[in-house]
Amino acid sequence: MTHFQAFTKSFARACCRNYHVQTILPHPHQVFINHRGPDTRRNISGLLYDNLLRLGHRPFLDYRNMKAGEKLQEIINTAIRDCKVGVAVFSPRYCESFYCLHELALLMEYKKRVVPIFYNVKPSRLRVGDIYNGTGRRVSEKDLERFSRALEEAKDIVGLRFDSSRGYWSEFIRSASDAIIEQIDKNDDERI
């Protein structure tokens, strides 16, 4: 429970003991961070999540927002459907992950604003090959086409590039956060 939620419940109990009070909070996630965990969880994705949170935004990052016992696909699909902006953190082994490509395809199918980040990989090196789903079965041709279409669409969006051997982390995280916040603001402006 967030500090704000705890405060509103405490306030409601103290002031309105005889009334049922329902607080309406904004959706918990503005930004969905799509990434391949083993490649980026401890660096770029985690740092970006922390910085967006520090700036007062509500990012979703699977391992930071999910709890034991929750249904993985249900939570992730809902977070993607309801987010304002998607961030696709492409890494060298990103296209080997069924889950990464499925999430990317959902972001594109829901027509979300997407900020691509190419982390230690050139866009031209990203290709969908033979991949296997979570049960060890080869992904169907239909899914491969869906994933390829989403990947090509994402590569066609102006993105950010970061080479960890040459770049400055703090500078990049700041500029990536600024780009994401700009897309959140554009999304909000369109809804007015």
Q: Catalytic residue numbers?
A: 103
Q: Is 111 exposed, middle or buried (0-12, 13-18, 19+ CB in 10 A)?
A: exposed
